[in-house]
Structure 1
Amino acid sequence: MGDAAEIIVGTAGKAYRADVGSTFPAGPEEVWGAGFTDLGFITPDGLEEALEEERTQLEAWGEDAPVIDLAKKRTQTFKLVFRQTNAYMLSLYYQVKLASMTSTAAATTPSPKKQFISFGSGSTADTIEIALGLDVIMSGKRHRIMIARCGVSDRGAVKHSAEDSSNFELTFTALAAPGGAQSVQHMITDVELPTP
């Protein structure tokens, strides 16, 4: 029987980054720790989560169907489009470590100059990996996704125009977690397990 209370519509959401190895909150209602930084506004498209599998089927002599179907590899991706331009976003998009960026302070004399950040891009030596935390929120319900280690595997073009903000479309791919932990954990409020 249908139950409208089980329909989730992600009306809001947040994305947080931290260093790989950071401790995630123990529950979906708990605040993110001091090591997690809010990555800023996300476009109304929200979060696109995908799970792909590569499978191997083993056949047996005399059988007309596979006898074993093995999952060979599972790849989880998370796609978001961010509106804000900040150092964390520039680091992820251009794959430049924060330590490789330079900030030049504002000056008032001899002539006024604004503060600016500068960095080079194009080197494959820098690979940025982060811990990523995602919250999908709807009417008091929360779906929290915690990715222990991930990197940007795809990015959309940044468009500079008067019609829209300069957005950063990033697809994160979950990587094997440090220490053999789960690479992706989900916490969803108000979903009960069936009684056995």
Structure 2
Amino acid sequence: MGDASTIIVGTAGKAYMGEVGSTFPTGPEEAWGSDFTDMGFITPDGLEEALEEERTQLDAWGEDAPVVDLARKRTQTFKLVFRQTTAHLLSLYYQVGLANMTSTAAAVGPPGKKQFLSFGSGSLADTVEIALGLDVIMSGKRHRIMIARAGVTDREAVKHSSEDSSNFGLTFTALAAPGGAQSVQHQITDVALPTP
């Protein structure tokens, strides 16, 4: 029988980033630690999570169906579109480490000058990887996703126009976690585990 209370509609959500190796919260209701940074506003499209598998099937003589079906590789991706322009999002979009960016302070003048950030892009040697935390929220329910190590593997074109903000559409791929840990952990409130 259906139970409407088990339906999750992501009416809000947040994304957090930290250094690879950062400690994740131990429960979905716990606050994110100081080693995580809020990544800012996300467009109403929300989070798109995908799980893809590459499989190998082994056949046997005289059998009309595979006798073994092995998962060779699992790829988990998480797509978000961010509305804000911050140093962290620029770093992820352009694959430039924060250490390779320069902030020039504002000057009173005359003439006055505004603060600005400058950086170059295009170096394949400058790879940015993060620990990624995602919260999908709906009226008291929370689905928390914690990715120990993630990299940006796809980027949408940034459109600069008067009709919308200059958004950063990023697809993160979960990478192998340090120390052989699980690369992706899920915590979901109010989902009962059936008793055997």
**TM-score range with shorter-chain normalisation?**
over 0.9
How do residues 27-106 of structure 1 correspond to structure 2 at under 5 angstroms? 27-106=27-106
Aligned structure 1 segments of 4 or more residues deviating by more than 6 angstroms: none
State the alpha-carbon separation in 1 of the partners of residues 15 and 110 from structure 2: 41
CA RMSD of aligned residues (A): 0.5
How do residues 1-196 of structure 1 correspond to structure 2 at under 5 angstroms? 1-196=1-196
Counting aligned pairs with the same residue, the percent is 84
Shift of 1:64: 1.1
State the alpha-carbon separation in 2 of the partners of residues 37 and 132 from structure 1: 10
Aligned AA (2:7) = I
Aligned AA (1:146) = M
Q: Matched residue of 2:43: which SS?
A: coil
Shift of 1:110: 3.4
Q: Matched residue of 1:113: which SS?
A: coil
State the alpha-carbon separation in 1 of the partners of residues 161 and 142 from structure 2: 35
What's the TM-score once normalised by structure 2's chain length? Answer: 0.99
Q: Matched residue of 2:145: which SS?
A: strand
Q: Matched residue of 2:49: which SS?
A: strand
Q: Which runs of 5+ in 1 are unaligned?
A: none
Shift of 1:111: 1.2
Shift of 1:55: 0.4
State the alpha-carbon separation in 1 of the partners of residues 55 and 122 from structure 2: 35
Q: Matched residue of 2:143: which SS?
A: strand
State the alpha-carbon separation in 2 of the partners of residues 158 and 125 from structure 1: 23
Shift of 1:58: 0.6
State the alpha-carbon separation in 2 of the partners of residues 181 and 160 from structure 1: 40
Aligned AA (2:75) = T
What's the TM-score once normalised by structure 1's chain length? Answer: 0.99
State the alpha-carbon separation in 2 of the partners of residues 109 and 163 from structure 1: 34
Aligned AA (1:92) = L
State the alpha-carbon separation in 1 of the partners of residues 98 and 67 from structure 2: 51
Q: Matched residue of 1:137: which SS?
A: strand
State the alpha-carbon separation in 1 of the partners of residues 134 and 102 from structure 2: 29
Q: Matched residue of 1:45: which SS?
A: coil
- Corresponding pairs, count: 196
Shift of 1:109: 2.0
1:58-96 Cα deviation digits (max 9, x unpaired):
111111111000001000000000000000000000000
